Structure 1
Amino acid sequence: MGSPLQAREVVAFSEGVSPGTVVVRTAERRLYLVNGDGTAIRYPVAVGKPGKQWSGATRIDGKYVAPAWSPPAEVKRDNPRLPDVIAGGSPSNPMGAAAMTLAGGQYAIHGTNRPSSVGTYASYGCIRMYNQDVVDLFDRVDVGTQVYVTR
C-alpha cells in the first residue's frame, strides 16, 4: 500500500458547499472536488511555502492545456536566471500538463514538472497537482467553478 499522497480517492465530505465546488485545505495539502452526495474526490496537492500561503474565495477564470509559463515578478526576483517565458510542454515548464487560472491574482491550480513536491509546502501560492490529477480535475470543472482555499 502506497502513501495516501500518491492517489486521488473518493472520501466523505460535508462542508455545505455546492456540488462542483473546489475546496483546497492548505494545512492538509489536499484539494477536494465536491460531488454533492456527501462525498468529494480528494487529490493530493502542493501548496504555498510558509509566507506564500493565502486563503479565500475565488473562481476558475481560465483553463489551459500545456500552457506556456511566464514567471511572476516575485518568482523572477528570487530566480533572476529564469527566462521570461517557458514554452508549454517543455520539461522545464512548472505548469505541467494543464492549468486552471484563478480570478483575482497570479495563482493557478496546475500540474507540475516536480511530482516529488506534491504533498509539500512548495509553491509561491499556486496549487500544484500531479499531472494525471490535474488532467482529471480539468475535465471535471468549468470556467466559473467556485474555489475556496482554507488554511
Structure 2
Amino acid sequence: MTKTNRRTVLLGATALLATPSVLRAQEYTAESFGGVTGPTETRRNTSSFHRIDWRDHFNSLGAGIIIADTTSRALHYWSGDGSDYRLYPTSVPMTDELTRRGYSEIVRKQEGPSWTPTANMRERDPTLPIRMEGGEPGNPLGTHAMYLDWPAYLIHGTHDTRKIGRRSSSGCIGLYNEKIAELYALTAIGTQVRLI
C-alpha cells in the first residue's frame, strides 16, 4: 500500500467507528433537554441527567419546587403555576456524610453573599478565612445564594466552574454563576426544596 492509501483506509475506519456515536447524539433534540414530559416518562441526556417528575415528591407546586438530585448532579426547577421547568447541572457534596437529604424550603435569598466557613470546614482546612465578603475573589458562594431552612445549607453559585458536575462541595448545591442568577430571579421565598 502507498502512504496515501494507508491514510485513506485509516480515515475511513475512524469514520466507520464514529458513526454509531454520531447517530446516538442525533437522537437528542432540544425537546429532550428542556421539554416537559409526562410523569411516567424518564429521559437521560448525555450528562446522565434523569428526567424526574415533581409529583413523585410533592403534593402540589405551591410557590414552586426545586429538586436537587445528588446522584445525577442536577437541579430541577418548576414554577408555581407549572408553566416553567428548568434543569441545571450542579456540584454536590464531597461525601455522603456531608450530604443532607430530605425536605426543606427557600427562606432567604442574597445577591453577593458573604461566606463564613463552618467550624467543620475550618477543622478540615485551618487556612480558610474567618469570613469573606460578597464580591471578594475566591468567595465560594459566587454571585447569588438561596438559603434553606437547614442551617449552613445553600443553593449558590461558584466562580470555580471545575466544580460543576462533581462531588466538590461541603454540603451545598452549587451552580454556574450565570445559572444561579437565572434561578435566583425565578425562585420565590417559600419555594419547596427536596434533596435526593
TM-score in terms of structure 2 length: 0.68
Larger RCO (CA under 8 A, 6+ residues apart): 1
Normalized per residue, the structure richer in strand is: 1
Report the Cα distance in structure 1 between the residues aligned to 2:34 and 2:65, rounded to whole angstroms.
Answer: 15
Write the deviation string for residues 9-41 of structure 1: whole angstroms up to 9, x where unpaired.
52435331434200111101000002425x721
Deviation at 1:111, TM superposition (A): 0.3
Write the deviation string for residues 38-75 of structure 1: whole angstroms up to 9, x where unpaired.
x7210000011123112100001110001111101111
Could you tell me which runs of 5 or more consecutive residues in structure 2 were left unpaired when the two chains were aligned: 1-24, 26-32, 37-51
Normalized per residue, the structure richer in helix is: 2
Which of 86, 89, 94 is matched with 1:44 structurally? 89
* Max Rg structure: 2
Q: Does 1:120 align with 2:159?
A: no
Aligned to 1:136: 182
Could you tell me which runs of 5 or more consecutive residues in structure 1 were left unpaired when the two chains were aligned: 2-8
Q: Does 1:15 align with 2:61?
A: no
Report the Cα distance in structure 2 between the residues aligned to 1:53 and 1:133, rounded to whole angstroms.
Answer: 22
- Is the contact between residue 11 and residue 41 of structure 1 (CA under 8 Å) also seen in structure 2? no
Specify the code of the residue in structure 2 equivalent to 1:75. Answer: M
Specify the code of the residue in structure 1 equivalent to 2:171. Answer: G
Which 4+ stretches in 1 moved above 6 angstroms?
A: none
- Percent identity over the alignment? 32
RMSD: 1.6
TM-score in terms of structure 1 length: 0.87
Report the Cα distance in structure 1 between the residues aligned to 2:120 and 2:161, rounded to whole angstroms.
Answer: 22
Q: 1:141 to 1:23 in 2, by over 3 A?
A: same
